[in-house]
Amino acid sequence: ADAKGESGPLAGKHILVTAGPTHEPIDPVRVIANRSSGKQGFAIARAAAAAGARVTLIAGPVSLPTPPGVGRIDVETAVQMRDAVMGALPADAAIMVAAVADWRVEVADSKLKKGKGPPALEWHANPDILAELGEHPDRPGLLVGFAAETNDVVTNAKGKLERKKADWIVANDVSGNVMGGDNNRIHLVSADGVDDWEDLPKSAVAQRLIEKIAESIA
């Protein structure tokens, strides 16, 4: 279904992409969610497949069609996403675009009832999937994180680059109102420095990132 088939710049490469939010259940009918649309991650998976890569897209709950030529695994929670990512290794590159919930709560077996009053939720930290990949014996050759930041965009991204042992952080300035929108303002942060991109549609961000990845892992 994809134009370049097995002859593009990423032919023979396995690319792992996470996308969308995670949902963390509270009880059988309720979840804790976030506003990630999955659009940027899906655009990256599409561009990678069009460049000839074998693509594994691990997606949280989103309402988006699977891009042509992409192998998709649907998950709900951060723990499920972590297990799916680790199960999909090895990969030549991993691009972690998902907005993974930082915490989950102890799940009630039955529906919490209003009459009992506001529940006291017991919180637990979720696994940091990107950081686990950074230290994994099968660490992908190129490890790319995303960071949506409202302030100190580049400083925060540099901190994440080091803490998570990533190669690149694609820092996304969300000080405007871009969650769910069609454009992104990117600062690509790596050990080599910072590359500031102009405001671009998510499809163009995906295209440019995949071109850079192809150069890097060729």
Given 3, 6, 12, 102, the residue binding ligand CTP (CB under 6 A): 102
**Hey, what are 98's tokens?**
């998902």
What residues between 17 and 36 interact with ligand CTP by CB under 6 A? 18
User: Which entry of Ca ion, ligand CTP, none binds 128, CB below 5 to 8 A by partner kind?
Assistant: ligand CTP
Q: DSSP code of 21?
A: B
Q: Residue 211 phi/psi, 5° resolution?
A: -60, -45
Contacts of 7 (CB under 8 A, 6+ apart): 52
Based on the shown chain and the rule CB under 6 A, indicate whether residue 37 belongs to the binding site for ligand CTP.
Answer: no
Based on the shown chain and the rule CB under 5 A, indicate whether residue 102 belongs to the binding site for Ca ion.
Answer: yes
**Residue closer to ligand CTP, measured from CB, 132 or 211:** 132
34 carries an active-site annotation: yes
The answer to whether the annotation marks 111 as part of a ligand binding site is yes
Q: Name the minimum Å distance from CB 85 to ligand CTP.
A: 8
Contacts of 168 (CB under 8 A, 6+ apart): 142, 143, 144, 145, 161, 188, 189, 190
**Residue closer to Ca ion, measured from CB, 156 or 203:** 156
How many Å separate Cα 197 from the centre of its chain? 19
Site size with ligand CTP, rule: CB under 6 A = 14
Can you tell me whether residue 70 is helix, strand or coil? strand
CA distance 123 to 107: 10
Only segment of 47-55, 86-94, 111-119, 123-131 that touches ligand CTP (CB under 6 A) = 123-131
Contact in structure between 78 and 24 (CB atoms under 8 Å) = yes
How many Å separate Cα 124 from the centre of its chain? 21
Given 21, 55, 145, 172, the residue binding ligand CTP (CB under 6 A): 145
CA distance 97 to 149: 13
Annotated catalytic residues are 34
In the complex, the residues that contact ligand CTP under the rule CB under 6 A are: 18, 78, 96, 98, 100, 102, 126, 128-130, 145-147, 160
- Residues marked as binding for CTP? 102, 111, 127-130, 146, 160, 164
